[in-house]
Structure 1
Amino acid sequence: MVVRHSFSSNGGINSMNKWIKSHIFLVFLLPGIVLYGLFMVYPLLSALGYSLFSWDGLIREGFVGFENFRKVLTEIPYKERFWNALAHNVKFFIITFVLQTTVGLYIAVKLTQKRPGMGFFQAIYFLPYTLSMVVVGFLWLLLLNPNWGAFNQFLKLIGLEELIQPWLGQESTALITIILVNFWRWLGFPVLVFKAGLQSIPEELNEAAIIDGANSWQLFRYITLPLLKPTIAMVTIITFIWDFNAFDLVFVMQGSSGNPHYATDLLATFFYRTAFGDPTTGAAGGDTGIASAIAVLMLIIIGIASYFGIKIMQRSEVEY
């Protein structure tokens, strides 16, 4: 009896040890899961719950269902500002996407060439990406100052005084200026990813095409670009998510004439001003229910677009 009990105990201990060894990864994942749940999942679920109630400032009142969503999408002034901000987000993304897949890919192709100094230039292009968005925003606020900013002074120095203007102080140029600053800061990331994708393409494919008489453009068009499509799709999805969550740079750099918030508003800044008060209307307090509805709509837009983007990326994968 003692022997059998000992055998049974050893078997249980061995089974427990095997389970621990096979699930040890949970120990390392647990801190990340807790932090993600605390700072991502819980706020999202809270926003969904808050959006279903009416609020008096920070005081929750009665249950209203989807009334807050109806107000955001159909009731003035929320309707105009929501669709205006959404249009700006779309413009923000499209311009950034076009620039990074042309300029960024061109730079990445050049950096893959075996020439002296390529490592130095790679570091130079990636350096702005390491800076905080708030730092970048205040830096460019100084550079673009209409009176003594270095950018306008440079235009004056090279004889282009007619181009000098308050870039962030007028509605016609404020948004595009912020987009270009964002692109300058963001450029290093797609360049680095594109370069990694280019280096993963087997050299034998290019060598075989050259033997068959392919020129540089044909190599890029029929070999490099098709094999790089999954990388481009991945960078595009990340760019879309970032651009539809963009807040800090826009908040720091919003212009100061006319109705600057309306001219440069994105969904994230619209959400912020709705939740904590709108200085353009003199409103001191915000509407938590309406703001939460905006946040949920942002989540839906980003989620749907990301889902289809991932599907497209999976279809574009090429095996070689």
Structure 2
Amino acid sequence: MAGELQLNAVKQVNNRKYRNWKVHLFPIPALLIYGLFIVYPLLAALSYSFFDWNGIRRGEFIGLANYKDLFTLEPFSGMFWNAFQHNILYFVVQMVVQNGIAFLLAFIIYQKIRGAEFFKIAYFLPRLLSVIVVGFLWKLILNPNFGALNVLLGKFGLESLQKAWLGDPKTALMAIILVNCWFGIGFAVLIFLAGLQSIPKELIEAARLDGARGMIILRRIMLPLMVPSIMIMTVLTFIQSFEAFELVYAMQGSQGEPYRSTDTLAVYFYRLAFGGSSGDSTAIGLGSALAVVLFIFICTFTALLLKYMRKKEVEM
């Protein structure tokens, strides 16, 4: 009898170990997909950046020559720094306009206004659309001849404000960035609203009992406790700004028109690696070097940003 009990106990342990072992099989498909579409392209780009290329034919090993040409050889270096400045502007405007308005809207909804649930859905609806669809939609709206924006300006007697929004180097990039803000504002509203709703109401009530009101509560109580939400949106905005491609491509193509005024690093990479829509030749080595530089820059700056934000969270 004791022997049978011991045998059953051993079987149960073995069955439990077998079941635990099977659990580790479930992540394998996701890891294979991640390795195939993320890890392998990164490693391939790193490898390609050390070789000379004749079209799509790999030549001899040239070490860091592609990186040197990217930063020092014209016209590559000029286009690189031009696109880099545009990405910085992309990030700054999104932080101020998109995240600023999103925080204001989230704060208003947090006040339990009538129709709050409707507004949450309404703000998030643009996010459900494809970026390519959004790009073509706004390209029609901003059309200088029959676009809705210029038509409305004309109806209100503001003909002086009518422009070829995507045809003017002074307004093209800003128009695309503002469209991106419109597209992403709903997601930012939900992140900030979640941060506001996670604040213990007891703290706010205690502050009110101590005589704190309005902006003092917002600045001294709410904002410090919302650092995690602010950190999340800052990091996501930075990554999205420096990977900006789909919307720019949908609205202006791969040439950064007009006159490279809408070039971003991702669009410039596409043009280098795969050639532009005007039939530009490929430069796979330079494109791969740009991809590696962009990856390292995003990872490094994101890590520093996270470290800084966590330090501020501890201090607050």
Maintained 8 Å contact 2:135/2:247: yes
Aligned to 2:221: 223
Maintained 8 Å contact 1:169/1:255: no
Q: How far is 1:212 from its partner? A: 0.8
Maintained 8 Å contact 2:169/2:258: yes
Cα distance in 2 for partners of 1:145, 1:256 equals 19
SS at 1:242's partner residue?
helix
Cα distance in 2 for partners of 1:199, 1:95 equals 26
Q: How far is 1:27 from its partner? A: 2.6
Structure 2 CA distance for partners of 1:293 and 1:300, relative to 1, 3 Å: same
**Which of 306, 310, 314 pairs up with 2:310?**
314
Q: 1:115-153: CA deviations, max 9, x gaps?
A: 221111111111111111100000001101100100111
Aligned to 1:76: 74
**Which of 292, 298, 306 pairs up with 1:296?**
292
Structure 2 CA distance for partners of 1:259 and 1:253, relative to 1, 3 Å: closer
SS at 1:62's partner residue?
strand
TM-score relative to the length of structure 1: 0.91
SS at 1:60's partner residue?
strand
The unaligned stretches of length 5 or more in structure 2 are none
**Which of 53, 56, 62 pairs up with 1:55?**
53
* Root-mean-square deviation over aligned CA pairs: 2.4
Write out aligned runs for 1:177-216 (5 A).
177-216=175-214
Maintained 8 Å contact 1:170/1:257: no
TM-score relative to the length of structure 2: 0.93
The unaligned stretches of length 5 or more in structure 1 are none
Q: How many residues align?
A: 314
Cα distance in 2 for partners of 1:228, 1:258 equals 37
Cα distance in 2 for partners of 1:102, 1:45 equals 37
Letter paired with 2:307: K
Letter paired with 1:33: L
SS at 2:58's partner residue?
strand
Maintained 8 Å contact 1:234/1:313: no
Maintained 8 Å contact 2:140/2:147: yes
**Which of 91, 104, 107 pairs up with 1:106?**
104
Structure 2 CA distance for partners of 1:291 and 1:158, relative to 1, 3 Å: same
Which deviates more from structure 2 when the two are superposed, residues 223-232 or residues 16-25?
A: 16-25
Cα distance in 2 for partners of 1:255, 1:21 equals 52
Write out aligned runs for 1:1-320 (5 A).
11=10, 16-254=14-252, 260=258, 262-279=260-277, 283=280, 285-317=281-313
Taking every aligned residue pair, what percent have the same amino acid on both sides?
Answer: 45
Structure 2 CA distance for partners of 1:274 and 1:255, relative to 1, 3 Å: closer
Q: How far is 1:277 from its partner? A: 1.6
Maintained 8 Å contact 2:256/2:263: no
Maintained 8 Å contact 1:174/1:255: no
Cα distance in 1 for partners of 2:225, 2:73 equals 47
